[in-house]
Amino acid sequence: MLTNKAKYGLRAMCTLASSEQEWLQARAVAARARVPEKFLEAILLDLRRAGFVVSRRGHQGGHALAKPAEEIMVGDLIRAVDGPLAPVRCASMTAYEPCADCEHPDNCAVRELMRETRAALSGVLDHCSLKTLTHRSSDEPWLQSRAGGSR
């Protein structure tokens, strides 16, 4: 399940992507993306640490995308904020942990189903760029220009 943190992170990234290389302060991103500002600051920190956002201080400062939106995949953004996409740890490719109550993880039908689920989910999310998501989101009320019209 997608957490609010990841959902807000995706909204914030769509807002940055639609800003046309303009540096946006966290307050502006929060207002445009309809995300609580305090929560957004922690999310932007995660995204900056993962290399998706750059920040600078000062009057002309703010936040911007670290690379073009077409080079940023939605799956990578979600992983940066929420961690692995797998619904259970035993199905994760990057954070595998066997279940404490499973005696035969290599023959577990539930684990195999969850691995298939993870593969299907990552197959979609890892092939959807931030640019594509932003275009899909262009009619969302939270993704509006300063003048109030849709982009």
In angstroms and rounded to an integer, the radius of gyration of the C-alpha atoms of the chain is 18
- Measured distance CA(53)–CA(26) in Å, rounded: 12
| Helix (H), strand (E) counts: the chain | 6, 2
User: For residue 139, is pLDDT > 80?
Assistant: no
Q: Do residues 119 and 80 both lie within one domain?
A: yes
φ and ψ of 13, to 5 deg: -65, -40
Give residue 149's pLDDT: 39
Q: How many CB atoms lie within 10 A of CB 128?
A: 15
Range of the domain at 119: 73-128
Q: Do residues 55 and 105 both lie within one domain?
A: no
Residue 77: both structure tokens together: 């953004």
User: For residue 77, is pLDDT > 60?
Assistant: yes
In a domain, 150, yes or no: no
pLDDT in tens, 78-114: 999 999 888 888 888 888 888 888 888 888 998 899 8
Q: How many domains does the chain have?
A: 2
Q: What share of the chain is helix, strand, coil (3-state, %, to 5)?
A: 50, 10, 40
Q: Do residues 22 and 66 both lie within one domain?
A: yes
Give residue 53's pLDDT: 96
Give the contacts of 103 (CB within 8 A, at least 6 positions apart): none
In a domain, 149, yes or no: no
Burial of residue 57 (CB within 10 Å: 0-12, 13-18, 19+) is exposed
